[in-house]
Structure 1
Amino acid sequence: MTTMTRPTTLPPGPTAPRAVQGAYALTQPLRGMRRLKQRYGDAFTVNVPIFGNAVVISGPAEIKQLFTSGPELVDNLEVNLGRVLGSRSMFALSGEEHKRQRKLLVPPFHGRRLAAYEKIVEEETVRELATWPEGKSFATLPSMMRITLNAILRAVFGAEGAEFAELRELLPPFVTLGSRLAVLPIPKRGRVNPWRRFERMRREYDAIVDRLIAKARTEEKDDVLSMMLQTRYDDGSGLSREEIADQLLTLLTAGHETTATTLAWAVERLRRHPALLAELDEGDPKLLDATILEVQRTRPVIDLTARQVKQDGFRLGRWTLPKGYAVLVSIALIHDDDAVFPRAGTFDPHRFLGARPDLYQWIPFGGGTRRCLGAAFATMEMTVVLRTLLRDFTLVPTDAPGERWHSRGVAYAPAKGGRAVVRRRTTGGEQ
């Protein structure tokens, strides 16, 4: 790789005006990507609101090159989720500042620390599953949302009592509004503006976090917030209140709706594969792990991860990109590629038995230095929830067509909410 200035060479792409391409992207997001790949190949150039001029890639070699390129070549987008999560969010930080803060936030989500949160997730799962009706069709997504929200509030925020109740009421509409604002080119000015409501909710959130921080300073607890207060940069300074509030919101946003949506997709997929359900009844944890990997491959809830070119003449595979261009990685397109995943259109968890996925090809959490910080926490949540669900309930199979993809702003959910019909197991695992 070299950074010498070269003539720009871009992949082909549509020539329609930005507004037209933006409307197409909003109304036909996943189907539109597939059509563009069919027409132009595994790389194409688009011009859309928010991202502007961008190259979309889905070839494994170019994706790996992008993820392994240094921040002097490609780094965070100038327009990013920081506008809804806060200027100190991991999504907003770049370069050394991003690396410095990421180093502080990795330890709470690995090893023994992570195992300590499993009990919380199981408690919340058992509590929610107790409300499930037997023999009646219902959407599981709302339940999964409550489980992941409650688990994060307890394990990450250390919330209980009044603060737990207030955050549980505030955060769902707050996150939903934020995810919509993140993908819509709505300016922050104007008399009638959804940003005003969002900013009012953000002030409420900050006030609650201030109280949680004050309590955490006087109590000995094992939640992520308490560890944030104890951690120190190399110069001995700690995280500021603003950094803590923004990072807590980032961890919530990255690990709540996306994890819950993947769990709803898991229910949707499992009900359509009764032979797999029968295998899972035998309790093989490796097959459960493989199933979670395959759900994330076939139903990624986030389709795009992105970088921005920071030096003119950046050579990416066959192309030479100018400074300022966004590079968008389509997760769905590489996951659907038969050359990468044989019989990619088939839901088959067995492909991951005894073979861990390549993290430059299986990329539901993004990749490189900006891979999702809470990936391990999310995986633990999904494992515990599904393990508990399959232990306590039988999922009734269905021959109904698979649920369509539905955009919820940032995440793609099953259109009917991952509907299920369940029967409670008796003691000993018998139906």
Structure 2
Amino acid sequence: MQLPNPVQTPSLMQKLQWVADPIGYMESAVQQYPDIFTARVVGFGDTLVFVNHPQAIQEILTNDRKKYAALGEDNKVLQPLVGDYSILMLDGDRHRRRRQLVMPSFHGERMRVYGQQICNLTAKVFNQIPTNQPFAARSITQEISLQVILETVFGVYEGERFQKLKQQLSLMADLFRSPFTSSFLFFPLLQKDLGPWSPWGKFVRDREEIDKLLYAEIAERREKPDANRIDILSLLISSRDEAGEPMSDQELRDELITLLLAGYETTATAMAWGLYWTHQHPEVLAKLLQELDNIGNSPDALSIFRLPYLSAVCNETLRVRPVTMLTFPRVVQEPVELLGHRLEPGTVVVGCMYLLHQREDLYPQPKQFKPERFLERQFSPYEFMPFGGGARRCLGEALAVFEMKLVLGTILSRYQLALADDRPEVPRRRGVILAPARGVKMVITGRRARHEPQLSLAST
């Protein structure tokens, strides 16, 4: 079968580079083949067609299932983490029905309630950081993000189970903190339980501890239902599918873990990058602080969320450093032509969000951090897509963006920060995502005195 623009590097070398240095791998390939190329990588089958042309990505993600199908089995790299019943592993009607059950959790009045929780948690965590002592911003945003997840998704606020969940979830997430440990997800031969001191053995035991805590929480909620609770676990327990059937304990467990992974590591990473870029570019920070000052001393969460320049800063952060690199794969169902190349049934294709966001024709000087580009132009969902697209677009997008804006807005309006390391922060693989290699080292230099409101940002 003839595949489009195959990368010529030997297969094993491609696989190793994809795990160790995915940015270098993609940027090298796209220099030879700007819009589409075939890679031999691990995690989504052996051969993968990368596409970064916006119209082609739209065709792949929005076409009817007769041409491109999203198959949960192709997400097998995630199976050890999320289980067999996660929405990520489901296909067709089962995927659609599960999505309908979960979607209402991330919209409407619930988001308003979550807003004040997020602002309060952010202030609580930052108030505990000593002044003029370096800290890793990503560790702090992880702490905030994990507490937001535990409260909004799990509905757990305090007590022994809360503390145990915090500890175990942090341990499991931190296991895949480097390209080396991430390789255990991509190479099944490495997934051997050789005891609690082996990397995979430790992961298995951490996962078992988390499962015990989750199943205990699920059992307790089923025994004592409370219609007034608005956390996502309670809503999922009370939900029913089209046949009137509730989700099983296993389905609830897998969905909770999926929401955790989708909303904890990813959001924490995006917020850390946001702190990095705003302090790398003083002119960006100055504009953002002026905008925050314009909404007064005690703004409500929705006022922060609606700020246009803050939104542009968050969008540019997600563009230049998307946390995830690829859309979920699609499998060609019948012969199709894409960008002048014939694709046969069985070919696996992905949209490459990282390379899409680096296109010079969409984003002039793409390496430059320039939030203004999101104020000057509106990009289509297939030109700017940090959360994927189509039927598999990230379910937690609304909560992630909401949290990112509120956390950054709260931190920057209350604290004076500075980067503690002059070296540029670079992205490095952390499991299936990209995170700042050194964690964004910062210091709090003092509390921020708010300035008198200005009328407009138009002149800046």
Q: Give the TM-score, by structure 1 length.
A: 0.92
Give 2:93's aligned residue.
96
For 1:169 and 1:147, the matched residues in 2 are separated by 14
- From 406, 413, 434, the equivalent of 1:391 is 413
Mapped to 1, the partners of 2:448 and 2:262 lie a distance apart of 36
| 1:125 match | 122
**Alignment match, 1:3:** none
- Aligned pairs for 1:342-421 (under 5 A) are 342-353=364-375, 355-396=377-418, 400-421=422-443
The answer to whether the Cα contact below 8 Å between 2:48 and 2:349 also exists between their aligned partners in 1 is yes
Q: What does residue 73 of structure 2 align with?
A: 78
The residue that corresponds to 1:206 in the other structure is 211
Farther-moved stretch of structure 1 (70-79 vs 358-367): 70-79
Equivalent residue for 2:52, pick from 48, 58, 77: 58
Any residues of structure 2 matched to 1:225-374 within 5 Å, and which? 225-283=233-291, 285-353=307-375, 355-374=377-396
Give the whole-Å Cα distance in 1 for the aligned partners of 2:193 and 2:166: 30
Q: Which whole-Å deviations, capped at 9, do the CAs of 1:27-76 have from their partners, x for residues lacking one?
A: 33101211111112321112223321111111111111111123342213
Deviations 1:185-213 (A, max 9, x none): 43545656644433333222222112212
| Alpha-carbon distance change, 400 to 275 in structure 1, aligned in 2, over 3 angstroms | same
CA–CA distance in structure 1, aligned partners of residues 71 and 175 of structure 2: 23
Structure 2's unaligned 5+ residue stretches are 293-306, 453-460
Is 1:77–1:308's contact at 8 Å kept on the other side of the alignment? no
Indicate yes or no: 2:14 matched with 1:11: no
- Is contact 1:13-1:46 (8 Å) kept? yes
C-alpha distance after superposition, 1:152-188 (max 9, x if no partner): 0011001131221110010112233468243344354
Contact 1:273 1:397 in 2 (8 A): no
Please give the secondary structure, in 2, of the residue aligned with 1:364.
Answer: coil
- Structure 1: how far apart are the matches of 2:187 and 2:174? 13
Q: Distance in 2 between matches of 1:182 and 1:70?
A: 31
**Paired residue secondary structure (2:57):** helix
What amino acid maps onto 2:215 in structure 1? D
Letter in 1 for 2:51: I
Cα offset for 1:283? 2.6
**Distance in 2 between residues matched to 1:398 and 1:276, nearest whole Å:** 18
Larger CA deviation: 146-155 vs 173-182:
173-182
Work out which of the residue numbers 19, 22, 31 in structure 2 matches 1:26.
Answer: 19
Kept in 1, the 8 Å contact 2:263–2:400? The answer is yes
**SS in structure 2 at match of 1:420:** strand
Deviation at 1:352, TM superposition (A): 1.2
* SS of the residue 1:283 aligns to: helix
Matched, 1:151 2:148: yes
Matched residue, 1:4: none
How far, CA to CA, are the matches of 1:102 and 1:145 in structure 2? 26
Aligned mates of 1:197, 1:397 — CA distance in 2: 34
Determine the C-alpha separation between the residues in 2 that align with 1:40 and 1:183. Answer: 25
Q: Which moved more, 1:279-288 or 1:258-267?
A: 279-288
Kept in 2, the 8 Å contact 1:267–1:419? The answer is no
- Between the aligned partners of 1:286 and 1:313, the Cα distance in structure 2 is 44
Match of 2:299 in 1: none
Between 1:185-194 and 1:50-59, the stretch displaced more is 185-194
Matched with 2:171 is 173
Distance (Å, rounded) in 1 between the aligned partners of 2:264 and 2:291: 26
Instruction: Give the Cα separation in 2 of the matches to 1:361 and 1:83.
Output: 32
Determine the C-alpha separation between the residues in 2 that align with 1:53 and 1:426.
Answer: 52
How many residues align? The count is: 423
1:397 CA displacement? 6.5
- The residue type equivalent to 1:341 in the other structure is Y
TM-superposition CA deviations, 1:289-308 (whole Å, max 9, x none) = 11000000011121122313
Contact residue 61 and residue 317 of structure 1 kept, 8 A:
no
Q: Give the drift of 1:313.
A: 1.6
**What letter is aligned with 2:189?**
I
What code does the residue aligned with 2:33 have? Y
**Aligned with 1:11: secondary structure?**
coil
Q: Confirm whether residue 182 of structure 1 aligns to residue 185 of structure 2.
A: yes
CA RMSD, Structure 1 to Structure 2 (Å): 2.2
Cα shift at 1:117 = 0.8
* Alignment pair present for 1:197 and 2:191: no
Residue 56 of structure 1 aligns with an amino acid whose one-letter code is F
Higher mean C-alpha deviation, range 16-25 or range 371-380: 16-25
Question: Displacement of 1:121 after TM fit?
Answer: 1.3
TM-score by length of 2: 0.86
CA 1:372–1:112: 2 relative to 1, 3 Å: same
Which residue in 2 is equivalent to 1:5?
Answer: none
8 Å contact kept, 2:85–2:255: yes
Percentage of matched positions with identical amino acids: 33
Q: Distance in 2 between matches of 1:405 and 1:33?
A: 13
SS in 2 for 1:320: strand
Q: Which runs of 5+ in 1 are unaligned?
A: 1-7
